Structure 1
Amino acid sequence: MPGYQSLADLAAIEQTPLRERPSAPNTFAMVEQGAALNPGALALRFVLNGEQPTRSTDFTYAQVLDRLHQTANLLHELGVGATDVVSYLLPNLPETAFTFIGAQAAGIVNPINPLLEPAQIADILNACGTKVLVTLRAFPKTDIWQKVEALAALVPTLETVLTVDLRPYLPLPQRLAVGALRLAQATPQLPGRRVLDFGRELRRQPADRLTSGRTIASTDAACYFHTGGTTGTPKIAPLTHRNLTFITGLTEFMTGTAAETGPLVYFCGLPMFHINGAVVTICAPWSMGHTLVLGSPAGYRGPGIVANFWELVEHYRITLFSGVPTVFSRLLEVPTTGRDLSSLQYAICGAAPLSRELILEFERRTGLRIAEGYGSTECSCINTLTPFGGDGPAGSIGLRLPYQDVRIGVLDAQTGLYQRPAEPNESGTILIRGENVFRGYLQAGHNQGVFVDVGDGQAPFFNTGDLGRQDAHGYFYITGRQKELIIRGGHNIDPRLIEDALQQHPGVALAAAIGSPDPDAGELPVAYVTRVPGHAVTEAELLTFAAAHISERAAVPKRIYLADELPLTAIGKIFKPALLKQEIARVFTQRLTQAGLQVQPILVRDDKQLGLVAEIDATGPTGTDVAPAVQQALKGYTVPYVLRPAAG
């Protein structure tokens, strides 16, 4: 199987200086180069409904290039220039991919999560200065257009809204039914905003060339990605064309060149507003002339997609797919019996660590080894990956990618300044440097401590805020997080969204949100609060309050715990590591007790190599083999544990 397998392989690749490697000057040219390999090949296959997995709407590369030219030309006609922003609020559709690439040829594209609430979406649009918004036309069982109606007046820079219609993708009976419903509905309108039909306007545009005459520089901004931030102060990470062409170009070192592999088929089930969906499943296949199968507007969440996933693999001969731990956990529940999975070569898991048991069980059932990766939006998606086809060490997030400088540094705990490189297997902060790294957040106020100067006279490193270690063979491991993000099934949640909302309640004195271990989602948001003296607020009341006041539905805490006091640092800040240890102990105790074991108080300690480790002392009924019972009860959890000798 093509691809590097060791540090020696990376050194061999890097014998050729990066400047001598061919690279497209911008993302539009990158896709043009991929299309030129075989214009008649299938570029995109859109599966509208996972319950009809073999029905797809297909586009050749020639047809996709037509749509990309038309999209860029339409946006240019609407006044979009190199520094103007086109945001999209869309599910996974062909038009989403067309907008992602086409808008970069006209100006700057800004993907937005359509599950966010209107106020939060408006904050993002205002932070970006959005000029054009591409969104979904009103459609049964969707609420995206209703959100646009609620937010449009809050965004003064917004001039034009382009509506994408799902109706043409429907089977004929449904298409007729939706058409009949619309006879009684008015054409979409927004006061003071121009509202146009995306498809109708596209058809008026030239399909064989770009009309703007723009020369797109590699240093020009290509994308603005929202990476978090509290209400009113979203963090926007700008990525340049070079950031994206560089990271996409590394694909050939992982999978092999198109000439080496022949045609591959990528599956996209992750949202296209996320950096993974954009880079791994739009840029990567289209840069090399491969086929992209787009699995329903809701991706893996769509009806029938997971339930019929192995049929999708068999029918479309899928080669590569990526997911988050929740996806792989759900796929284990779907029988593979009778399905031809021989086309599958690559499965990538990112966003959160997988348990070793899940990796081994997935390999046993499918014959496919999951490659675990690590990356961030700020670094254009991916920085480390366990080699495809290799047998990386348990718990590792892999080797660094070629031409990226990934290292572990020891920083001063008070100042954040660089002190020294970490020793092998010593925990420190993961630092990253390379042409994939952004230059800083759009809002300068978010850039404090983002970059670290190691004193070597070269560019500073991006401070990921994650803790990790590197072994003697070059493999990296996550040992913890300095930054407090909660990662729920690959979705990043800023705990301040939860804390700020809860502290609006008159009965809450202090609030702290953390990630609670979960075998499916990796983490679920929970909160610990203290009450204002004299207030008799209950946990149930606070859960209701949180649901009403938190703008991001995924951030609504699953549980809220009332505490007499919260652990504090010497300077009076809430000490979340202590809460996290308490939560791990609580969850593990509950899980083991439900499994019929008697559990002594669980100690969660810091380990320099593994991060947080739970020490478990458990016993069971006579004749119980405790070790496998504990392993079964904690299957799926990524927090490591050890059994105290008394339990063995």
Structure 2
Amino acid sequence: MPDTTVGDGTLSGEIRTQADIDVFERTPWQEKVPAQNTYELLCRACDRHQEQTALRFVMTGAPDAPEFTVNYASLKARVTQAANAFFRAGVTPGTAVTVLLPNLPETHYALLGAQAAGIASPINPMLEVDYIAAIVEETGAQVLVACAPMDDSTLWDKAIAVVDRCRAVRTLFVVSATPYVGEEERKRLEAAFEAASRPARVDVNIVGFEEALAAEPSDTLVSERRILPTDICSYFHTGGTTGLPKVATHAHLNEAFVASMLSVLTPSSNTILCGLPLFHVNGAMVTGLAAFHSGWEVVMLTAAGYRGHGVMANFWKLVERFRANSFSGVPTIYSTLADLPRDGADISSLRFAFCGAAPLPAEVARRFEAAAGIPLYEGYGMTEGACVSALSSPLGERRLGSVGLRLPHQAIGVWKSGSAGLATEPAAPGETGVIGIHGPNVFPGYLQEHDNRGIWLKPGWLNTGDLGYLDADGYLHLTGRAKELIIRGGHNIDPAMIEEALLQHPAVAMAAAVSQPDAHAGELPVAYVTLKPGHVLSADELLAAARTLVPERAAVPARVEILQALPLTPVGKVARAELRMRAVEEVFREHLALAGVPANVRVGPDIRRGTVAFIQCAAADAERVRDLLVGRFPFPLDFTHPA
């Protein structure tokens, strides 16, 4: 295997096989990671590539939208200034900075600057205020970075509500989009901000982010902080769809290690499109720190990423415009692109694409590759492992149905486990079990100690909750996720089996299978699908087809529903929790209708109780509703009675 180090101690992509990884690991990982904190790792990259473009940003997906560039020297300067501005605001090691921003260049400055000063805590700005405030309270953040009104004031109003609720927040930094718009739009945005609400609290300092950075030195940390590898650098929240999110902690070493190891599995030169949100670990690492460490050019496709105006409609033209070599997405993105005409766009610069965050159906991969003419490589990871644990590297063999080889110096094991969730013995090659990971990328734990119960298969080995197997050559294959299994009368059904079967139907674009509650079997599978453009099909016809396509009789859906679009998370994954709530809603309505009880049913999330059924019925019928539902289904009920 060729040498994987260059003169300054950094890494270049040379690993292709498990044998290469074994050779690479003869040298301790400490000698292969040039810096064990994110700020120093970034500074080294910026010093190597000073005049190269680090970021390009467009406000809209129009093929001729104005672009704004940031070179590596400026990136280092801005991150350093952000760290200094946070330090002036009282941020010290162990202090959290809440970053409540869409995808802007300033988001990178805030995230990486917060890590240099204290702890970056990016939060999905699309969450409801209750959830955002709960995370801010849990992290004890003293600083919040928010965006001034853009298209509307929703995000700004959320930030104000959070500041008023969370007494620990003392400083509100305001990021403006005015540098990225024309004169007329700039005036409109400035007027909107002047008219927007302000915190009711008088003890909150409101500071313009741009002005604060401009006042700080750009060549040194005024704190003179010595950042340790074990210092916590970031908080990433996980979940939060139906209950209070868990907050995962990352040490500096976790992120610096992953960024360094990715560089040996990916090309050393790349222009990558960024469409995933930066509050998510995939966006922050794959199109953030890891890309910068490798000296890549990152093209930020609007503040809303793939959801931005015109981005998906003009995607191939944007590839042509920026001569993009790759991009990273989730399965729903690739399903959409598979049906998107190129309209003459020259996409010859594209070499490959990455898919992560959710299992990739084989049929979606096949359709995308046929449409785009490039290979699609899967990766595997989780927030708790600093994003990446395995990758099908473009430098090596692509094994269909696999998510690739493990990250160098990070172990992956497949284990048989007992009833307590602890590993009992390793699974044999090809034998399915629970996937565990162990290495410098594995997080120290969740912020709340009660969330850490049962997360370790054995000391040092994180239980990923995923099921899979390793083949004889070290490639990891996923077979399901333990918590997404549909358990029908004690029989485990993998939803992927149903989805892959339905995707074989020529009219089906996307499919998602989830469980619906059943008083007798516990759970039954149901499927939700979208159709390809121009196809017409009834749910009954598709259900009849499913009886032939789905290989297991017990896995045939009890019901198929055709939707205009599947609900998505802000990252673009299918929002399975929403589909499960939809299924519960339908079951409850059927039960009450069959019993002749007039009632309105809405099933939704509650921050403390998870999934709750909200029942509106006459007061005289409430007891009958309880008799019909309580004890049969494991969901709390909330009653309201019309006047």
Letter in 2 for 1:299: G
Letter in 2 for 1:128: T
Distance 2:185 2:30 in 1: 53
Structure 1 counterpart of 2:470: 470
* 1:299 lines up with 2:299 in the alignment: no
- Structure 2 vs 1, CA of residues 7 and 145 (structure 1 numbering), >3 Å: closer, same or farther? same
Structure 2 counterpart of 1:567: 521
Counterpart pick for 2:271 among 246, 265, 275: 265
Letter in 2 for 1:567: A
Distance 1:587 1:473 in 2: 37
Structure 1 counterpart of 2:282: 276
- Structure 2 vs 1, CA of residues 182 and 91 (structure 1 numbering), >3 Å: closer, same or farther? closer
**Paired residues for 1:567-606 under 5 Å:** 567-568=521-522, 578-579=523-524, 582-584=525-527, 593-594=540-541, 600=547, 605=552
CA positional deviation for 1:251: 1.8
Structure 2 counterpart of 1:508: none
- Structure 2 vs 1, CA of residues 602 and 13 (structure 1 numbering), >3 Å: closer, same or farther? same
Structure 2 counterpart of 1:114: 125
Letter in 2 for 1:305: V
Native 8 Å contact 2:163 2:199 kept in 1: no
- Structure 2 vs 1, CA of residues 266 and 142 (structure 1 numbering), >3 Å: closer, same or farther? farther
SS at match of 2:238: strand
Distance 2:96 2:398 in 1: 42
Distance 1:269 1:599 in 2: 34
SS at match of 1:289: coil
CA deviations 1:324-366 (Å, max 9, x no partner) are 0111111122222432222222311011122222222322232
Native 8 Å contact 2:160 2:198 kept in 1: no
SS at match of 1:303: coil
Native 8 Å contact 2:164 2:199 kept in 1: no
Distance 2:238 2:13 in 1: 33
- Normalising to structure 1: TM-score of the pair? 0.75
Counterpart pick for 1:311 among 317, 322, 325: 317
Distance 1:182 1:599 in 2: 53
Structure 2 counterpart of 1:66: 77
- Structure 2 vs 1, CA of residues 99 and 64 (structure 1 numbering), >3 Å: closer, same or farther? same
CA positional deviation for 1:134: 0.3
Counterpart pick for 1:366 among 369, 372, 378: 372
Letter in 2 for 1:66: A
* 1:248 lines up with 2:191 in the alignment: no
Structure 1 counterpart of 2:631: none
Native 8 Å contact 1:3 1:387 kept in 2: no
CA deviations 1:573-609 (Å, max 9, x no partner) are xxxxx43xx2259999x97843696665887749xxx
Structure 2 counterpart of 1:171: 182
- Structure 2 vs 1, CA of residues 273 and 521 (structure 1 numbering), >3 Å: closer, same or farther? farther
Counterpart pick for 1:383 among 375, 383, 389: 389
CA deviations 1:370-396 (Å, max 9, x no partner) are 101111000000111123155533322
SS at match of 1:149: helix
SS at match of 2:265: helix
- Structure 2 vs 1, CA of residues 356 and 602 (structure 1 numbering), >3 Å: closer, same or farther? closer
Structure 2 counterpart of 1:417: 422
Counterpart pick for 1:441 among 437, 440, 446: 446
Structure 2 counterpart of 1:625: none
SS at match of 1:322: strand
Unaligned runs of 5+ in 1: 454-458, 487-513, 529-562, 569-577, 607-611, 617-635, 638-648
CA deviations 1:516-556 (Å, max 9, x no partner) are 9596666477754xxxxxxxxxxxxxxxxxxxxxxxxxxxx
Counterpart pick for 2:163 among 152, 167, 174: 152
CA deviations 1:31-82 (Å, max 9, x no partner) are 1111111211111111111125552111111221221111001000001000
* 1:450 lines up with 2:428 in the alignment: no
Distance 1:204 1:241 in 2: 27
Native 8 Å contact 1:602 1:615 kept in 2: no
Distance 2:70 2:485 in 1: 39
**Paired residues for 1:65-104 under 5 Å:** 65-104=76-115
Letter in 1 for 2:402: S
Distance 1:306 1:56 in 2: 17
CA positional deviation for 1:190: 4.7
Letter in 1 for 2:135: I
CA positional deviation for 1:173: 2.5
Distance 2:357 2:105 in 1: 24
Native 8 Å contact 1:25 1:217 kept in 2: yes
Letter in 1 for 2:384: E
CA positional deviation for 1:226: 0.4
SS at match of 1:254: coil
CA positional deviation for 1:184: 5.3
SS at match of 1:168: helix
Native 8 Å contact 1:326 1:522 kept in 2: no
Native 8 Å contact 1:325 1:349 kept in 2: yes
* 1:341 lines up with 2:347 in the alignment: yes
Distance 1:332 1:601 in 2: 26
- Structure 2 vs 1, CA of residues 474 and 598 (structure 1 numbering), >3 Å: closer, same or farther? closer
Native 8 Å contact 2:329 2:355 kept in 1: yes
- Structure 2 vs 1, CA of residues 297 and 525 (structure 1 numbering), >3 Å: closer, same or farther? farther
- Structure 2 vs 1, CA of residues 190 and 368 (structure 1 numbering), >3 Å: closer, same or farther? farther
- Normalising to structure 2: TM-score of the pair? 0.76
CA deviations 1:261-290 (Å, max 9, x no partner) are 4xx212110000000000000111211222
SS at match of 2:203: coil
Query: Does 207-216 or 116-125 show the bigger shift?
Result: 207-216
Distance 1:400 1:56 in 2: 37
**Paired residues for 1:467-546 under 5 Å:** 467-484=467-484, 523=512, 528=517
CA positional deviation for 1:399: 1.6
Native 8 Å contact 1:47 1:53 kept in 2: no
- Structure 2 vs 1, CA of residues 235 and 615 (structure 1 numbering), >3 Å: closer, same or farther? closer
CA positional deviation for 1:316: 1.3
SS at match of 1:432: strand
- Structure 2 vs 1, CA of residues 189 and 29 (structure 1 numbering), >3 Å: closer, same or farther? farther
Native 8 Å contact 1:348 1:373 kept in 2: yes
CA RMSD after TM alignment = 3.2
- Structure 2 vs 1, CA of residues 12 and 615 (structure 1 numbering), >3 Å: closer, same or farther? farther
- Structure 2 vs 1, CA of residues 614 and 391 (structure 1 numbering), >3 Å: closer, same or farther? farther
Letter in 1 for 2:147: L
Native 8 Å contact 1:593 1:599 kept in 2: no
Structure 1 counterpart of 2:583: none
CA positional deviation for 1:152: 2.0
Letter in 2 for 1:452: L
SS at match of 2:132: helix
Letter in 2 for 1:583: V
- Structure 2 vs 1, CA of residues 236 and 315 (structure 1 numbering), >3 Å: closer, same or farther? same
Distance 2:196 2:428 in 1: 67
Structure 1 counterpart of 2:50: 39
CA positional deviation for 1:102: 0.5
Distance 1:270 1:78 in 2: 30
* 1:428 lines up with 2:433 in the alignment: yes
Unaligned runs of 5+ in 2: 1-11, 487-494, 504-508, 532-536, 559-572, 575-643
Count of residue pairs brought into register by the alignment? 529
* 1:220 lines up with 2:231 in the alignment: yes
- Structure 2 vs 1, CA of residues 76 and 116 (structure 1 numbering), >3 Å: closer, same or farther? same
- Structure 2 vs 1, CA of residues 424 and 136 (structure 1 numbering), >3 Å: closer, same or farther? same
Q: Percent identity?
A: 37
- Structure 2 vs 1, CA of residues 434 and 186 (structure 1 numbering), >3 Å: closer, same or farther? closer
CA positional deviation for 1:187: 6.8
- Structure 2 vs 1, CA of residues 52 and 599 (structure 1 numbering), >3 Å: closer, same or farther? closer
